[in-house]
Structure 1
Amino acid sequence: MAEHKAEPESAGGPSPLRVTVRTLAETLWFPAFFFTGFLVCYLLPFHNPVPHHVDVAVAGPTAPQLEQALEKKSPGAFDIHQVPDARAAHDAVTGREATAAYVPDAQHPRLYVAKADGYSLESVLQKTFTAVAQQSGGQLQVHEAAPTAPGDGMGTGLFYVVLSCTIPSYVSVMMLLRATTFGRRKKVLTLVGIGAVESVVAFFVARAMDVIPNEPLAIPLIFLMTQAVAQTSFGLVPFFKQFFPGVAMGLFVLLSMPSSGGAIPVQMVPGFFRALHPIMPMGNLIEALRGIFYFDGKDVWRHALVLCAWVVAGAALIALGAWKERRAARKEAEAEASGEEPQAVPAAEEPPVEDPSFELPRPTAVPPRTHRLGQQTPTLTGRVTDERGEPVQGVAITVTGTHGRELVRAITDPNGEYAAAGLPDEFVNVIASSPDRLAAVARVRARDGHPVRQDFRLARRPVPAAAGPVRG
């Protein structure tokens, strides 16, 4: 007997090594991105924070000499400007015209600092100007011009209050992508409601811990920041698709936190992050809250305007995504009406938008009637009956995409019902087939937030007439 050699599974197809590399790249790109991002965006600015261009007001005519001495000892660390007297020095700090103020005196030199700007910066200033005072033979006296709340001993409590509202705002978007029965408007309103709850709860919890002063104006500012993050993240989804998690977390975690000035004062991080500080939502909220709590409302309006600009940008992205979706649906409907074939798409299937922490809904068959907590809600339902209207069990329901790719298959239950969840937001073909009945096909529009129903009535296949006897 002749031997038959096994043929390769796919002659001319991609090699196993190439398939493995591609699979690993598509699967591990996000942890690799996050690993690199943390090394660059956290280790770089936080491993050795040093002062950069810290603005210090100096009372009296000795300011030029002091600036030269500090520049020689720590180049680029301090920017000195002269003020008339001790009162002007104190007001420069409380008015946020300077980060600190120094009043030279032979016996009792004074340093005005603002713990609200960060404990680590305060420590650097005390160390630097203690040495300056000792060279003049005096003993430095440190005065708190803007002390923090009693429950915020390290001056970083405000950062954690803001952080508690930043990451959940992004995570809420990821979780709402699973809510396939919610349309765009419901998702936007849900994000607004979540932000309102977060801002109120965060404020009162922080107040209960005495981390912040009792200034309720902080609540609308926190709310603005939650919407800046949430609505912008939601608006980015249709444009970046499977890369959305990297883009959103890169913006609001890897870049926003180091540049916020909350954990490490912005004057002590590299120039790139100092440049981001006036732009990113987290930094603007922290500065606005500092202004309300500790600096008599200084520049609060400016930081609030930046937060509003982020909210407007998010709304514009959402509107643009909706227009893009409607345009694509209109073109597809026109092609369907004219009998034209839809335009071909690249052969490579586009990966789903998903976050490494949460599995997004995929097309799947679900029970038509019983739904437990955590189970997907159907986006497509229907019933199959015979010519007399009686339910037909065991009919195969196959749902295919526009280009013929099978998405999901379901089987009708004893009541003739079927259901499917997690369908893509597009036109799909629904095929009902059974060995003893004529198949039926329908084309429906699957949309988030708009469950669709498609019923079928299947007739029996005609039985071929029996052949008569063969006569010789």
Structure 2
Amino acid sequence: MSTQAAPTPDALPSPWPIVARAVALLTAIISVLLIAFAWPSVRSSVHHVPIAVAGPTAAVKQVTAALGQRLPDAFEITEVADTAAAEQLIRDREVYGAIDVSSGTAQVITASAASAAVAQTLHSVATALSQAQAQGTSTAVAVRDLVPLPADDPRGAGLAAGGLPLVMGGLLAALLLTRLVRGTTRRVTAALAFAITGGLAVAAILQFWLGSLNGSYLANTSAIALTIAATSLTILGLESLLGYAGFGLGAATMMLVGNPLSGTSTAPEMLPGWSGTFGQLLPPGAGGQLLRSTAFFDGHGATHSVSVLVTWLALGVVLCLASGLRTRRTATVADTAERPAAHATV
């Protein structure tokens, strides 16, 4: 007579409450992902975008009033006397574009390399500005792109799409190094080495193959490498100090918060509310703005981004060192506790 073995606990079906909790958790996760990536895009609009208006005071006031009536709170306007001053502000990344009425005929000066979305917005209001300048008569407006995107990538698709691989590269670096490399110094060294090699590779692909970047290859490489290093070392430091919880915290910060709020595909000022400003305080946003500066503006406007990235990089190194010191202290205490026991046994 054969007997059937009793099922082990692992083979038993999960209780229904556990199934319900798993479904609820998955629902929460997909909702958070949707909010993180869709909310900034759906709520994107023009608000407080810095531009310049050049020309005589009376004409500038007229243009400013027309802008305020058509798009309230859309622009932060800097008044300048002439075309040269407006162009200098654009090249220094102080403003995204300019309305020039210094010659008596309205001219729109854009910088699609700073933000194709803002340049498109300035195109759309050009007719209204010309009508205001010409007192209601329909006049064609000259639009000039002072700092254009590369001819091989006129929409800036490569630069916009390049933000996610940088974040993913930092995440994968932290994940692999914690699994494959032992020792705090070796992990930090490996992360920095990967940032350099990854920067060289990504910059080469974007600049020489896809044609998405201009400027100095070494400067672009440095911007990308600094972004990768800041991301990977921060996550590596959190993981080394807090374990899986630290890795999850770092991954969520960079992937679910930093990447959607980076403003790389549009402009930080076009994101809803405070999110654009906050996104520039995280590595993905700061890295995207730094790469625009090195690729198209000879490094102008890069100070804030470099400061943010260096701060995150330093934080990651400090966290790694703190974890290493804690590990050494724990090992020393354990060794000290074992010695009396060994003497007692003898």
Q: Distance in 1 between matches of 2:84 and 2:187?
A: 53
Instruction: Give me the TM-score of the superposition, normalised by structure 1.
Output: 0.62
Q: 1:171 Cα deviation (Å)? A: 1.0
> Which of 273, 276, 279 is the aligned partner of 1:277?
279
Amino acid at match of 1:199: G
- Where does residue 186 of structure 2 map in the other structure? 186
Instruction: Give me the TM-score of the superposition, normalised by structure 2.
Output: 0.83
Larger Rg: 1
CA contact (8 A) 2:54 2:60 kept: yes
Aligned length: 322
| C-alpha distance 248-293 of structure 1, shift in aligned 2 (>3 A) | same
Matched, 1:24 2:26: no
Deviates more, 1:47-56 or 1:269-278: 269-278
SS in 2 for 1:320: helix
Cα displacement string for residues 164-219 of structure 1 (whole angstroms, at most 9, x for unaligned residues): 2321121121123322x633333222222222221111111122221111412221
Q: Distance in 2 between matches of 1:38 and 1:22?
A: 20
CA contact (8 A) 1:149 1:212 kept: yes
- Where does residue 139 of structure 1 map in the other structure? 140
- Where does residue 87 of structure 2 map in the other structure? 90
SS in 1 for 2:113: helix
Q: Distance in 1 between matches of 2:194 and 2:178?
A: 15
Q: Distance in 2 between matches of 1:36 and 1:325?
A: 38
CA contact (8 A) 2:236 2:247 kept: no
Higher helix proportion (structure 1 or 2): 2
> Which of 82, 102, 105 is the aligned partner of 2:99?
102
Matched, 1:157 2:158: yes
CA contact (8 A) 1:151 1:212 kept: no
SS in 2 for 1:79: strand
RCO higher in 1 or 2 (8 Å CA, sep ≥ 6)? 2
Cα displacement string for residues 120-148 of structure 1 (whole angstroms, at most 9, x for unaligned residues): 22111211232221343221111001111
Q: Which runs of 5+ in 2 are unaligned?
A: 1-8, 342-346
Q: Distance in 2 between matches of 1:99 and 1:270?
A: 18
Q: Distance in 1 between matches of 2:170 and 2:154?
A: 27
- Where does residue 33 of structure 2 map in the other structure? 38
| C-alpha distance 318-299 of structure 1, shift in aligned 2 (>3 A) | same
Amino acid at match of 1:96: R
Q: Which runs of 5+ in 1 are unaligned?
A: 1-8, 10-14, 340-472
Q: 1:233 Cα deviation (Å)? A: 0.7
> Which of 314, 317, 320 is the aligned partner of 2:316?
314
Q: Distance in 1 between matches of 2:277 and 2:29?
A: 22
Q: 1:277 Cα deviation (Å)? A: 3.5
- Where does residue 237 of structure 1 map in the other structure? 239
Q: Distance in 2 between matches of 1:334 and 1:247?
A: 34
CA contact (8 A) 1:149 1:210 kept: yes
Matched, 1:202 2:202: yes
Q: Distance in 1 between matches of 2:115 and 2:146?
A: 13
SS in 2 for 1:219: helix
CA contact (8 A) 1:288 1:300 kept: yes
CA contact (8 A) 1:258 1:273 kept: no
Q: Distance in 2 between matches of 1:183 and 1:218?
A: 31
Q: 1:245 Cα deviation (Å)? A: 4.0
Higher strand proportion (structure 1 or 2): 1
SS in 1 for 2:78: strand
SS in 1 for 2:179: coil
Q: Distance in 2 between matches of 1:258 and 1:225?
A: 16
Matched, 1:73 2:70: yes
| Percentage of pairs with the same residue | 23
> Which of 256, 260, 265 is the aligned partner of 1:254?
256
Q: 1:275 Cα deviation (Å)? A: 1.8
Q: 1:117 Cα deviation (Å)? A: 1.9
